Amino acid sequence: MGKNQHVVTHPEGWAVKGEGNERATSVHSTQAEAIEAAREIARNQQSELLIHGRNGQIRERDSYGNDPFPPEG
């Protein structure tokens, strides 16, 4: 399983960052473009996608890993 991918604000728009990375994997002018790029990486790495709002808080998350079925809890 790969690193979780975060969509975060960036001075040039929106960035995709792997969890724990200092540098952005890619930078996009719109959040939608960044989400699409991050979703593709998360699918390939079977990891999680975390979308942050402008305030920095996580507003949405999608998992592309090996989720337990049925879900626990």
Query: Residue 70: what pLDDT?
Result: 64
Q: Is pLDDT of 43 > 90?
A: yes
What average pLDDT does this structure show over 42-71?
A: 89
Query: Strand locations in the chain, DSSP E?
Result: 5-10, 13-18, 26-28, 48-52, 58-63
Q: What is the pLDDT of residue 49?
A: 97
Q: Are 39 and 49 in contact (CB under 8 A)?
A: yes
| Closest among 32, 1, 2 to 16, alpha carbons compared | 32
- Average pLDDT of the chain? 92
